[in-house]
Chains A and B, each alone.
Chain A
Amino acid sequence: MDLYLAAFGFGLVSLSVIAIGAVGFTMQFGITNMINLAYGEVMISSAYVAYYVNRAGISIWIAMIAGAVFGAAFSFLLNRIVYAPFLAKGTSHIGMVIVSLAVSLMMANLLLPIVGYYSVSYQNSTGDLIRVGSIILTTNQIAIIAVAVALMLLIHGLLRYTRLGKAMRATSANPTLARNCGIPTQRVVDMVWVITGALCGLAGVVAAMDSDTFAIANGATFLITILAAAVLGGAGQPYGAMIGAVLIGLITELSAAAWSPQYKEVVAFGILVLVMVLRPQGLLAKRGALAAAG
């Protein structure tokens, strides 16, 4: 039982990491209608940016901001330079998925000669141990959870109470109608890429902190867990992604305790398949993964 309680503690950390990434991913998809398969590579690139800043002797918590800034800037440029022109040209959804996969492949391989094949880790003390019953976490892990909670509240506030958030929700619901109502959808979409890019960068750094060592190959595994959480919650739904992250984070960590940590992604994938068979629209979305009617 203690083992499972300990796993529950790790689950809290992993779900925080996944939540940051999945909310960013799902907002990108919900508002810009773009399944960005390069998301995992942007995460890992941001983790490396933070790594180099960290190696220069700066605290990882400040390096994390550098990672977020890189993620935001890179995502914004990626959309402006690659995705937006293709969308403007009328490329189909499927065409965009292929384009983003090509981008992901290029990023991974451009990064490889720069950062090398070897796993690296941040220079960072793990912090003191804090025990609550059988749950043992380091102060760093608790800080990660706190960062995630703060970000979720910020996203909630942004979407609910600000003009930008309302404009985002309007653009997500019906871009043409939003434009006709005088919402500058172009600027809204730019802002979405900046905000979700920052989330993506943060998620990358936090995920790299959580997994002790990281290498380029982690980009693909990050993406899988995040896809699973986003699809489970109903793609395009930020609140759904949060619920999805909670479920995926806890289930994968508990399964790691019960079975083998090697198969965490396999469990995430199993959940993804179950969702796709039983409830393709996800937990919250009205349509989600279901075939569009027309």
Chain B
Amino acid sequence: MNTYYAANLLIYAGVDIIACLALNLQFGVSGIVNFSFIVFQAVGAYTAAVLSLPPDHTPGFDYQIYVGGYQLPFPIPWLGGAIAGGLLAVPVGLVVLRKLRSDYQAIALLVLSVITNQVITNARPFLNGAAGLASVPPPLSSQLDPNTERYQYLYIALTAVCVVLVFAVVNRIVNSPYGRSLRAMRERELAAAAIGKNPVALKMTVFIVGGVIAGLSGAILVGFIQLWAPSVWLYPETIILFAAVIVGGRGNNIGAILGALLVPVGFEEVTRVLNTNNLNFGPPGLLSALQWVAIGLLIIGFLWFRPEGVRPEPRRVFAGSPDTVEVELVRPA
């Protein structure tokens, strides 16, 4: 187990944890079924990439075409990615979240995810189409050679800082009175509206905050893998994150972290172990196809046998209240 392998594992884990925390805030806590989550991650990644790449006529980069190319120093691409994720959430949220029924919201977002991918794939001049962007300069690469062990530790540290930061933010939101409003909206929107909570405002805020975090996760990932193409953000990638949140425990931040480690990271590792030990069987592609089948089974299995997940959302009851029992009964299962 060398440093590079460990760095790869830890950084993917960090990115997946950040993504799952954001999705948990949207889906687990607030009940917004964001089937286009991966698009927000992709926007963050593309933004970070074009902010750190040189213009596309620079020698060495001129085999691809893309907009921008600003060569900005380190923290700006990551911040830019996060901001782009948040900005995208505004128009999408305004169209989808205002009037539609929740199941229509879900299908609208799913269709958005499929179509966005299709458009970026076909429109080559924008972000280099299907081939995607390559040779994205890693952050701080002018100060420290990215091919050194020290750089790997640095990247792990940067990712870890972001994980802690995101966890602190979402935890603060979930455990605040604001988080209570979000849960109230998830459980019964009409009742939440009746006591003066504005569901559209709540949803929009959560959608934007989630978009910012998703954009950040994309920026971190693209800095590390140094390439980004439509094939890495197809809509099933969102389903993996849903599987993670469902397995971990909807509405529980620790559960989201656990889910991120069990599902995306776990599956990636199992496939890697099978591949390196030549345990590959059947026609090429069978293993990855079976992996998706397993993800589907995991979702259906958990929704059937343990819908609350491995770490269920804590029941929040008012300890001092004489009607504790009644309070529990009011909450629909």
With both chains docked as a complex, state the minimum distance between the C-beta of B285 and any C-beta of chain A, in angstroms: 7
Q: Which residue of A lies closest to B299 (CB)?
A: A102
Stretch of A64-72, A127-135, A143-151, A271-279 that contacts chain B: A271-279
B300 touches A269 (CB 8 A): no
Choose one: A89, A113, A227; the contact of B283 (CB below 8 Å). Answer: A113
By a CB distance below 8 angstroms, the chain A residues around B246 are 98
Do the beta carbons of A113 and B289 come within 8 Å of each other? Answer: yes
| Alpha-carbon distance between A244 and B189 when the two chains are bound, in angstroms | 31
A224 to B112, CA, bound (A): 10
List the interface of chain A (C-beta within 8 A of B). 35, 37, 82, 85-86, 89, 91, 93-99, 101-103, 105-106, 108-110, 112-113, 116-117, 220-221, 224, 227-228, 231, 235, 262-263, 265-266, 269, 272-273, 276-277, 280, 289-294
Tell yes or no: B40 within 8 A of A by CB: no
> Does the CB pair B285–A113 fall under 8 Å?
yes
Contact B103 A269 (CB under 8 A): no
Q: Find chain A residues with CB under 8 A from B31 CB.
A: 94
Segment of B13-21, B78-86, B113-121, B143-151 engaged in the interface with chain A: B113-121
A22 to B106, CA, bound (A): 19
- The 8 A-B residue pairs with the shortest CB-CB distance, nearest first, are A106-B296, A109-B292, A102-B299, A109-B289, A289-B104, A102-B296, A269-B115, A93-B103
Verify B300–A99 contact, CB threshold 8 A. Answer: yes
Give the CA-CA distance A99 to B299 in the complex, in Å: 7
B94-102, B170-178, B271-279 - the one binding chain A: B94-102
User: Are A97 and B299 within 8 A (Cβ)?
Assistant: no
How far apart sit A105 and B237, CA to CA, in the bound complex (Å)? 11
B318 within 8 A of A: no
Distance (whole angstroms) from the CB of B130 to the closest CB of chain A:
12
CA distance A106 to B294 in the complex (A): 8
Q: Are A289 and B100 in touch, CB under 8 angstroms?
A: yes
| Residue B107 is within 8 A (CB to CB) of chain A in the complex | yes
B331 to chain A, nearest CB (A): 14
**Chain A residues near B108 (CB-CB < 8 A):** 272-273, 276
B33 touches A105 (CB 8 A): no
* Contact call B110/A110, Cβ cutoff below 8 A: no
**What distance in Å separates the Cβ of B59 from its nearest Cβ neighbour in chain A?**
31
**Cβ–Cβ contact A291 & B100, under 8 A:** yes
CB pair B303–A227 under 8 Å, yes or no, is no
Q: Enumerate chain B residues within 8 angstroms of A294, measured Cβ to Cβ.
A: 190
Give the shortest distance, in Å, between B21 (CB) and chain A (any CB): 19
Q: What are 26 pairs between A and B in contact, CB < 8 Å?
A: A35-B103, A35-B106, A93-B103, A98-B242, A99-B300, A101-B35, A102-B239, A103-B296, A103-B300, A105-B236, A105-B239, A105-B295, A105-B296, A106-B296, A112-B289, A116-B283, A220-B114, A224-B114, A231-B104, A235-B104, A262-B122, A263-B119, A266-B118, A280-B104, A290-B101, A293-B190
The reply to whether A280 and B99 form a contact with Cβ atoms under 8 Å apart is yes
Instruction: Give me 9 other A-B pairs in contact (C-beta within 8 A), A265-B118, A290-B100, A293-B190 excluded.
Output: A35-B106, A91-B307, A102-B297, A102-B299, A103-B296, A106-B292, A109-B293, A272-B111, A294-B190
A37: min CB distance to chain B, Å: 7
| Contact partner, B111, options A108, A109, A224, Cβ 8 Å | A224
Chain B: how many interface residues by the 8 Å CB criterion? Answer: 45
Separation of A276 and B103 alpha carbons in the complex (Å): 13
Residues in chain B near residue A273, CB distance under 8 A = 95, 108
Beta-carbon nearest neighbor of A29 in chain B: B103
Give B contacts to A, CB under 8 Å: 31, 33, 35, 95-96, 99-104, 106-108, 110-112, 114-115, 118-119, 122, 189-190, 235-236, 239, 242, 246, 282-283, 285-286, 289-290, 292-293, 295-297, 299-300, 303-304, 307
Q: Please give, as numbers and ranges, the residues of chain A lying within 8 Å of B115 by CB-CB distance.
A: 224, 265-266, 269
Determine whether the beta carbon of A266 is less than 8 Å from that of B119: yes
Please, how many angstroms separate the alpha-carbon atoms of A263 and B121 in the complex? Answer: 11
Instruction: State in angstroms the CA–CA spacing of A294 and B282 once bound together.
Output: 51
Q: Which of A101, A108, A293 neighbours the largest number of chain B CB atoms within 10 Å of its CB?
A: A101
Cα A101 to Cα B189 with chains together (Å): 24
Q: How far is the CB of B107 from chain A (nearest CB, A)?
A: 6
Known pairs A101-B110, A113-B285, A294-B190; A276 contacts B303 (CB<8 A): no
The CA of A192 and the CA of B118, in the complex, are separated in Å by: 33
Which of B96, B104, B236, B299 lies in contact with A98, CB distance below 8 A? B299
Q: How far is the CB of A227 from chain B (nearest CB, A)?
A: 6
Q: Are B103 and A102 in contact (CB under 8 A)?
A: no
The CA of A226 and the CA of B300, in the complex, are separated in Å by: 25
User: Contacts A112-B289, A269-B112: A98 and B303 contacting too (C-beta < 8 A)?
Assistant: yes
Structural contact, A94 and B106, CB atoms closer than 8 A: yes
Of A86, A110, A291, A292, the contact of B293 (CB 8 Å cutoff): A110
Q: Which of B107, B118, B299 gathers the greatest number of chain A CB atoms within 10 Å? A: B107
Q: Find A97's partner among B99, B106, B283, B290 (CB 8 Å cutoff).
A: B106
Residue of B nearest to A270 (CB): B115
Separation in Å of the A293 CB from the closest CB of chain B? 8
Q: How far is the CB of A288 from chain B (nearest CB, A)?
A: 8
Residues of A within 8 Å of B106, CB to CB, are 35, 94, 97-98
- Which residues in B have their C-beta under 8 angstroms from that of A117? 285
Distance from A189 Cβ to chain B, minimum over Cβ atoms (Å): 18
Check A291–B101 contact: CB distance below 8 A. yes
C-alpha spacing A273/B242, complex, angstroms: 24
Enumerate chain B residues within 8 angstroms of A277, measured Cβ to Cβ. 95
Q: Is A105 touching B110 in the complex (CB atoms < 8 A)?
A: no
Cα A276 to Cα B109 in complex, Å, equals: 12
Write the nearest CB–CB distance from B309 to chain A, whole angstroms: 13
